Structures are given as structure tokens and as C-alpha cells.
Chain A
């Protein structure tokens, strides 16, 4: 029988140095449309499959990163002005903080001085499985979430945070509310992935149509590092981004 322990040790360190060192380019994950000098037009807005593009009251271009799935169609409409850029810093504690160009990163939340470990309960309310795949990578050696004192628990009784994926479907939203009710207070909710943030391609309803959301992490799906980073900032921890 081969020795798995020996093999595991021999492989050496495979975990990202983040948050002590800046992320590697390969860890950034999804690409987002940069606005640059692009101007709003109705035709540009109509090109977007998730209706993420709109105009401000002054007629300036706005992109709702809470709806954007990073498909790149708008960038092909305006190749001179809009570029797709890899970034892992799209997240906010306020839904309005996801409207580019005025992005607000995650502000330190109520747990900012919290010294203990954080327990997350994952609830799939209708995702396409991408977020789940990334959550599994997040606990694998490449990101090793546990080293940062953040753990998953299958029990609502032990959970501080409900981490929801997917735009809640009719069949799963009652379960979502039940699980939330079973969690002891104080409790918080994270919407992980564009579908959970806004409904994305499928609906107009994100998780915040059902529960108060404390942290929004959009993306289709957001990279493991994007979630790691937003949780750390929300916990008031330091991260080295550049």
C-alpha cells in the first residue's frame, strides 16, 4: 500500500501566500469590464445579456457588477474603450457598492474585532454548481481556508454565517428561510456568486429578496481568492493586494 502521508509531505507547500503576499495572476480569477472612457449608449446597454449596463442620472455609463457575468460581449462592442480585466476585488458590504465605477470594497463588518474562528454554513439555493466547485477548491491545499480560522459546518446551530449560492428558486427558498431561522443570533448572510447577488441571467431576485445580506461577492463564479479576500476584509483582517 503506498504511503499517502509520505507523499503528502513530499509535495511541500502548495498553498497560496495570500493574504501575506499579493495574489499571483493565476489566482485572480474572473475578468470584469473596465469602463475607461466609454460612454453610455442604449445600444451598448442592449448588448448585455444580464441588463447590467445603465446610465447614471447625469447620463454616464454605469455597470452593475452585481449583475455582470463577465461574458465580455460589451467589450467586443467597444473594443477601443472597454477592456476585460482580471480582478479579485469586486465585492461589497452594500449592494450599491457594486455599481462601477464607484465601487466600494467590503467594509469591516461587526465581527471586525472578533478573535475566534468563523463558521460558515453553505446553502445552495439554485446555483449552477460553479460556486460549489470553487468552495471545494477553497478548502483544498491551494487556498486552505482553514489556516485563516474560517471553517465550514453542516449544522445551522454552529454557524455564524449563512453563505448562499444561486438565485433562490421557488422550491429552495422556503428551505433557505428555515435554515436561517435555525441559526442562533447574531448571524450574518453572504451572497456568493452573481446569481445569489442579483439573480443574474435567471431572475430579478437575489438572496436579498429573502434575507438581509451582509456581504455581496459577485462573479460567475467568483474565484476562491475573491471570496477569501472579501471575508478577510469583512473580518477586519489585513490583506496585501499589491
Chain B
């Protein structure tokens, strides 16, 4: 038998000919060997390089390792590639795209999982936004472990794949590569493809529906040791002393704490930003919000948003302040004064859940549009599962 029929996942006129014309198949055994040789020596890679491992993949194609030596070239279009090399963390937002690109690749195709992120999600694996291993939705042929694997390891992975291609075509039973053992607690709600009792195929609806699934968090329970800090004292680090009178006299700041930015009334803070801008604090440094759940002693749930500005040039100084609002209220946006506040506040809205009044474009930025909940809230479980990817 020249062609191993079981190994064919797809239909091709060439194979049809070899299978269906009696006698031809046997006579063509050398031809099949030749075809296999062609397949294995021309593995074009579609680099699904999302993060750090992608950089090492690039190093593998550069002069020191040069995977071009074995005929491996990168193709930008999945349609012309044979191997999908997943190098980097795959997030819940990215996974449907990866799956789609995989489906666009023509058979015969293979998949290499490069790096611990692609294999198991690495130390991000228990986090809400990361897929714990691409073998939950892609059939992985070769695992290349490492964080990141060296370029030489990429070469080794490709050589392993060549062996596998050859063995499969020769009709030897090739066991799926056993996925590496995982340490520590990981419990993907979705079994890996290699598991026997995995549901056969996930429909598009399931995938979509699952992305919106949010388990009930329990906002009532707050760890005791997470007391939100607020420390009285002198000037915070980085704020120049000449601002103290300004803050006290014009903006009604009662006290300036020693090791935290001063609290400014929410309704005055836009004015403060404009004043500081006129004083030379022209660069927006950051906007950082934090969530403070309701406490046992009756303190209501609140958000704190810290803003920081900077002077430019020699002796650069930072001025920062905080705004504290109850969870039900919103913070006036800084966007009209600082164009950059637009994206910064969007991010904080997305992750922490603070609302900014007057913001021109308060959409999610990091998470998918249909995500529910705000992950950086204290009551949001870090390992919140977004099925079916975990």
C-alpha cells in the first residue's frame, strides 16, 4: 500500500489516483516515498508569534541557527504554510483567531507548540484571560518546551516534526505526542484534545457563548488583610514642595500624605490638571485606578484614581494626585485637557470598572467587547474561567 489511507485527512486528486487504480498503488511505492520526502523537506512555517517566544523564533531564522538550511521559510499567509508554529501566549481574545487561521491552512498541516505558554499557559495559566495550552483547541504535533526555548530548540522541534511526518506517511502508527506533565494546580474545564472524553468539536455558538460566561463572584467576601492604604503625613515623593500651598489653598486639599498622592475632590480635579499644565506639567504620565471594596466597618465601596503629570526637561518632576469616588459615581474625564487620558481612562474603565463622565469613547480596550466584569476589581477571581478555553 503506497498511501496510508487513514493518514489522509483530506481529499486530493493525486492520492485518489494512487488509491483507486488497482496496481498503481503498489507500483508507485517509490513515488510515495518521493512525495513523503518532499513533504518533510519543505516545511513552510506560519509563525503565530504573539510574544516573547516569537522573538526567539525570529532568532532561529536569523544567521546563527538559520532554519532556512532545512528548507523552512516563513509564509505570511496561512494558506501557503504547512506548519503553524505557535510561539507565545494565546489569550482568550486571540484564541478564536488562532483557531480560524488554523482552519484556513490546507492539509497536510502540523502544529508546533513553542514555549511553555503555548504548551500550558506558563504561569499565566490560571489567569482569566489566558488559554492554558493551545492543545485545548489545536492538535499539537510537537511540543518545544522552554521559556523561551532557545533557537536551537526550535530547530530540534522541526527535526522532530520531520521524523513524525515520515513515520506517519509510512503507515507506522504514530501516537500523538504526549503532552508534558503539568505542575501545580491547573484544571481547565475543557479537556485537552488528547483526552479521550473530550467533546468532539466545539461549535461556533459554544465558543461565542462561552466567552460571555461569568461565574458568580462573591463580592461580599473580602480578604481581611487587604486593607486599602491611606497614610497621613508629609509630601509624597516626586511632588515638588511648591505645589503644597496651591493644593491646600485653591483645591481644598486638607492634608498631604507622606507616601501617597494627595486626595483631590473629584469635581475640582480637571481644573487642577489644567492649572498644573499651565505650570509646566505638560506630560501625562499615567492614570491608575484601584478598587476598594466595602469594608466591615461600614466604609462604602469606592474607586480611587491616581493621575500623574510630569515636567519636561532637566530636573523633571512628577505631580500626582488621587481622586476618590464612591463606586456608584464617576470621575470627570481629563481627555479635553490631556488627549492621552482618553486611552488611559479607557484602560482603567476596562480593567477596574471606574466610569469617567464626559469621556468621548468609553469602550473596552484590553478585553473582548462582550466580556463581563472588570478583572482588576478586588472581588474578581483571578482564575475566573472563560470557557471553553480553560
Do A and B truly interact?
no
A: residues with CB less than 8 A from B are none
